[in-house]
Structure 1
Amino acid sequence: MYPPESTWKFENFFALVSRSISEYSNSTLLMEEFPDAMMTSTRNPADISKLHKYIVGVAQDEMIEDEVIIPYTAKGIIGEIRANMSVIKEEYEYSHIKLTVRSNAIDLERLKKSMLGLSTDDS
């Protein structure tokens, strides 16, 4: 499925996939070539856990928290929020729901644009 060796770059994140790291006599040479690397093995559950925590941490660092007010008359907005954002807090009012969400800036801006024109009676 993957070539024998390849490198992917996601901003500052590199993944080196190799069938064998035997070309490096030891991990010291690998760390010299890739000083910011996180040495992991797919066969070690602790390494996978460490890598997962790192990726989740990077994603969460880029998220921002904001409050959105959604009138009950809005169709599909809450489903979109739950699909694309983390809901931190929910408050139910007479005419609307107030949600505190964590999201990346792009999804949050898209939500705000889709909500233009929607209004609540008592906000």
Structure 2
Amino acid sequence: GSEVLVANKLFATLDTTVRALYPESIPRILVSDTVGFIKNLPHGLVASFKSTLDEALDASLLLHVIDASDPGFERQLEVTNHVLTEIGADEVPRIKVFNKIDFVGDSTAQAALEQTLQNRYPDCVVMSAKRPEDVAKLHKKIVAFYQQDQIEAELFLPWEAQQLRKDIYATCQVLAETSDHEGAYFKVRGEPSAINKLTESVKLSHDIKSV
């Protein structure tokens, strides 16, 4: 796969990187990593900087990653909020992710700061990207956001429409599957739009076979 440049420089790159959330979920979640925020941005970079953030307007969720070890992180929050408001993305749902908690003193200091952050920002995630259990915690939070509007449904797939089976597994979480002489029965969990699309596809396939 492609490599992502990591450097302690002012905008080593203005490119965004898009990858699937791993471990992959159903439905698949794509994550776009954009540039960091900075106040007093050099005038020549303003247009390029903001153009990379246009994706935020189309995002269904924003992860705002903040350096928890930086004493001035509150100023970071202000700058980010200001820019997001400027581009019209202030209404997009957001999760604050306080990273680098492991850079904050000893375990006692880390626990104290984590408690403070949780009290101040109840829905935030406090973590270290170096700890697998923390990465898993963030992953769970992201997936939970996308699952909150999902519904459970039952789908019947006649044997003559089994070509749609892969679509069911690709767009929904299959909770149970049984079958009889007429076809397969699925109990699924997924987004309403995905389930409606599958239902229409099954109906269309059945109508075509019946002609």
Q: Shorter-chain TM-score: which interval? A: 0.7 to 0.9
Match of 2:133 in 1: 46
Q: Distance in 1 between matches of 2:168 and 2:175?
A: 11
Q: Is 1:55 the counterpart of 2:133 in the alignment?
A: no
Query: Greater relative contact order: 1 or 2 (C-alpha under 8 angstroms, separation 6 or more)?
Result: 1
Question: Partners in 1 of 2:172 and 2:136 — Cα distance?
Answer: 23
Partner of 1:94: 181
Q: 1:103 to 1:62 in 2, by over 3 A?
A: same
Separation in 2 of the partners of 1:112 and 1:51? 33
State the distance in 2 between where 1:64 and 1:20 align.
36
In the TM superposition, what are the counterparts of 1:1-123 in structure 2 within 5 Å?
Answer: 1=13, 2-5=34-37, 13-17=61-65, 22=70, 23-24=72-73, 31=117, 35=121, 36-117=123-204, 118=206
What's the TM-score once normalised by structure 2's chain length?
Answer: 0.45
RMSD of aligned Cα (Å): 3.3
Q: Secondary structure at the match of 1:76?
A: helix
Distance in 1 separating the partners of 2:158 and 2:170: 18
Structure 2, gaps ≥5 residues long:
1-12, 14-33, 39-52, 75-103, 105-112
Q: Shift of the alpha carbon at 1:48?
A: 0.9
Q: How far does residue 75 in structure 1 lie from its aligned partner after superposition?
A: 4.7
Contact 2:67–2:73 (8 Å) recurs in 1: no
For 1:57, the aligned partner's letter is A
Deviations 1:38-84 (A, max 9, x none): 22221222221111122222233322111111110015211110111
The structure carrying a bigger strand percent of its residues is 1
Q: % of aligned pairs identical? A: 22
Q: Unpaired runs of 5+ in structure 1? A: none
More helix by share: 2
Asked if the contact 1:5–1:19 (Cα under 8 Å) also holds between the matched residues in 2, the reply is: no
Superposed CA deviations along residues 73-97 of structure 1, whole A, max 9, x for unmatched, are: 0152111101111111111111211
Q: How far apart in 2 are the matches of 1:98 and 1:75?
A: 11
Q: Show CA shifts across 1:4-53 (max 9, x none).
A: 33896855x5422357852338858x949x72322222122222111112
* TM-score under structure 1 length normalisation: 0.72
Deviations 1:82-118 (A, max 9, x none): 1111111111111211111111101001111112242
* 3-state secondary structure, aligned to 1:51: helix
Task: Report the count of equivalent residues.
Answer: 116
Per the alignment, in what secondary structure is the counterpart of residue 89 of structure 1?
strand
